Chains A and B, each alone.
Chain A
Amino acid sequence: MIKVSGLTKDYGARRAVHNLNFNANKGEIVGFLGPNGAGKTTTMRILTGYMPPSDGEAIVAGYDVVEESLEVRKRVGYLPETVPLYTDMVVFDYLKYMGDLRRLPDVEDRVDEVLDMVGLLDRAQGYIGNLSKGMRQRVGLAQALLHSPEVLILDEPTIGLDPNQVVEVRELIREIGKEKTVLLSTHLLNEAQNLCDRVLIINKGKIVAEDTTENLQARLLGAERVVVKVRGDGDQLADTIKEVKGVRKVETLDDGAVEFEFASGKDLRPEVAKQVIKTGYDLLELRPLGMSLEEIFIELTSNDGKKK
């Protein structure tokens, strides 16, 4: 459904995207992960026919994004990162307008349907300018869903939503992903993890890793990190923990807690707990730390550096 080969985009002298290659198939949700400025939005803008690439080729829904841009645009639903909307329009009128441009039959019924899907039926007659950020996000999503597109491209779809809405929108995307192709970008590892079948990690315009979420995690998380809190002094606690064989990178935090790390696979938490209690501390907390995307990135790029 999406086939990208050798895709490159230069903004003047700055190369934003460099020789990207990837595919996304029907019934697949693919996540685009990367730090700020990685080139996610740029790639999506090329795939939606907003701008042509400087080099390379992209086929979306069976059509070339440059040669047959209109055909691509008919078949793609797009939620831009900035969620641009006509703030001086009524929600319903706006969606009807976008539906008219797509020549949808029975536009008005369809608008009600998508408004229901994103939970905004009660705001249909309100001005977009009066909606909250999260609600606007959902109007943008409704617009992307309007024509039941074969390919859905969502640039950070859950940013700015409240936790309940995040769950609902993810549920919606998951549902759509069963039959359509979804490409979404995110900064959140856990979002990629519980939503995407496959993840592309992009950094500085290049894909640095591509795999299923499980595999990526196992590959990237060479170590697991744990935080320990006790009643008492942190520095002494650190010394105690250092005595356990296998722990690495023991650090005392400002609040007296201590963090340490061990190679993934052999869980040292029981040993550490025993040691802490044996020394006579009251153990308050022993908690594994999930790795944020940023940390994984630091891992990934520094590992790359060592290997080269």
Chain B
Amino acid sequence: MNNIWTIAKREYDNYFNSPLAYVVMLAILLPLGIYFTLILLFSSQNALMGGGTAPDTLQINWLFIFLMVFLAPAITMRLISDEARMGTLELMLTAPVKDFEFVAGKWLGAMMFVLTAALVTLIFPIVLNNFVSPGLDWKTVISSYIGLILVASAMLALGVGISAIFSNQFAAFFVTLGLFFFLWFFVNMPAGLIPESSDLLNYLSMSYHFSQNINRGSMTLAGITYYLSLTALGLFIGTTAIEIRRWR
């Protein structure tokens, strides 16, 4: 466990050495900030005219996760592939570190990076709380944030796992992006056409549990299990890919 933390900490520090990390951070926070401002302006307009509903932060977290479909692959693409390319994987694989610890450390480092962004976005509900009366429904806000962490966890684990398969970070990026597109947009598309299988197809969708349940304040067991399973699957793929590299 110690090693996971050591690796995660280095990876986290390392993010702030690379311009890409700042671009990613900006690509998350800037749209969210603009969107938040628009929500505020729009609902205050409505309020002046004596109508409309009170704004909440659900839209913001939904946008965060939606952006992550595109940005998570960029956050994870080089994590292991680049070590393979540079040869530093040989250092890691001959250090007294278990393959799983190495992969999990990479994942945790990426999680800490995303959590940093998520922490910054806490400004939005806090500001909003002062504008609406009787204040925000904090239970929903917390559920929404837990959902955000769960989805990020699944995405980053899959990204790290795929990064372990490739020695080229762009290959890792596009395969990860492709997988997220599939799980986000396409997997439950036929649900409308084949109603018998719609439950299963919706269960497999990465967006469904978050946008339909968790983000709206209902922490479903199915949703939690789904994201945790994907996290485990990603870490498993990564560990196995490393083991296969050794045997080759």
Q: Chain A residues in contact with chain B, CB under 8 A?
A: 11, 45, 48-52, 70, 73-74, 76, 78, 80, 82, 84-89, 97-98, 100-103, 143
Question: How far, in whole Å, are A70 and B96 apart by their CA atoms in the complex?
Answer: 5
Write the nearest CB–CB distance from A230 to chain B, whole angstroms.
Answer: 52
Q: A80-B87, A84-B87, A88-B17 are in contact. Are A50 and B94 (CB under 8 A)?
A: yes
Q: A50-B246, A97-B10, A101-B6 are in contact. Are A82 and B96 (CB under 8 A)?
A: no
Most A Cβ at <10 Å: residue of B6, B14, B18, B95: B95
Q: 16 A–B contact pairs at CB < 8 A?
A: A45-B90, A48-B94, A49-B94, A50-B246, A70-B98, A78-B94, A80-B94, A82-B90, A84-B86, A86-B88, A97-B6, A101-B3, A101-B95, A101-B96, A101-B97, A102-B95
Contacting A82 at CB < 8 Å: which of B87, B93, B98?
Answer: B87
Assess whether A102 is in contact with B96, with CB atoms less than 8 Å apart: yes
Query: Does B91 touch A at the CB level, under 8 Å?
Result: yes
B89 neighbours in A (Cβ, 8 Å): 84
Nearest 3 CB-CB pairs, A to B?
A84-B87, A84-B88, A74-B96
Write the nearest CB–CB distance from A49 to chain B, whole angstroms.
Answer: 6
Question: How far, in whole Å, are A143 and B82 apart by their CA atoms in the complex?
Answer: 20
Write the nearest CB–CB distance from A151 to chain B, whole angstroms.
Answer: 12
Query: Does B2 touch A at the CB level, under 8 Å?
Result: yes
B10 neighbours in A (Cβ, 8 Å): 97
B88 (CB) vs chain A CBs: closest residue: A84
Most B Cβ at <10 Å: residue of A48, A74, A85, A97: A97
Assess whether B88 is in contact with A85, with CB atoms less than 8 Å apart: yes
A85 (CB) vs chain B CBs: closest residue: B88
B248 neighbours in A (Cβ, 8 Å): 11, 51
Contacting B93 at CB < 8 Å: which of A50, A85, A86, A100?
Answer: A50
**Interface on chain A toward B: helix, strand, loop, or mixed SS?**
loop
Contacting A84 at CB < 8 Å: which of B2, B17, B90, B98?
Answer: B90
Write the nearest CB–CB distance from B68 to chain A, whole angstroms.
Answer: 25
A49 neighbours in B (Cβ, 8 Å): 93-94
- Please name 9 further chain A to chain B contacts, defined as beta carbons within 8 Å, in addition to the given A80-B87, A102-B96, sorted by A numbering: A49-B94, A52-B246, A52-B247, A70-B96, A70-B98, A73-B95, A80-B94, A88-B14, A103-B2
B87 (CB) vs chain A CBs: closest residue: A84
Question: How far, in whole Å, are A101 and B88 apart by their CA atoms in the complex?
Answer: 14
B94 neighbours in A (Cβ, 8 Å): 48-50, 73, 76, 78, 80
Most B Cβ at <10 Å: residue of A70, A98, A101, A143: A101
Question: How far, in whole Å, are A73 and B92 apart by their CA atoms in the complex?
Answer: 10
B246 neighbours in A (Cβ, 8 Å): 50-52
Contacting B90 at CB < 8 Å: which of A50, A74, A87, A100?
Answer: A50
Please report which residues of chain B, range 1-28, place their CB below 8 angstroms from some CB of chain A when the two chains form the complex.
2-3, 6-7, 10, 14, 17-18
Question: How far, in whole Å, are A73 and B95 apart by their CA atoms in the complex?
Answer: 6
B86 neighbours in A (Cβ, 8 Å): 84, 86-87
Write the nearest CB–CB distance from A205 to chain B, whole angstroms.
Answer: 17
Write the nearest CB–CB distance from A5 to chain B, whole angstroms.
Answer: 21
Interface string of B59-97 (1 = CB under 8 A from A): 000000000000000000000000000111111011111
A48 neighbours in B (Cβ, 8 Å): 94
Write the nearest CB–CB distance from A55 to chain B, whole angstroms.
Answer: 13
Assess whether A98 is in contact with B95, with CB atoms less than 8 Å apart: yes
Question: How far, in whole Å, are A78 and B17 apart by their CA atoms in the complex?
Answer: 27
A103 (CB) vs chain B CBs: closest residue: B2
Question: How far, in whole Å, are A82 and B18 apart by their CA atoms in the complex?
Answer: 24
B94 (CB) vs chain A CBs: closest residue: A48
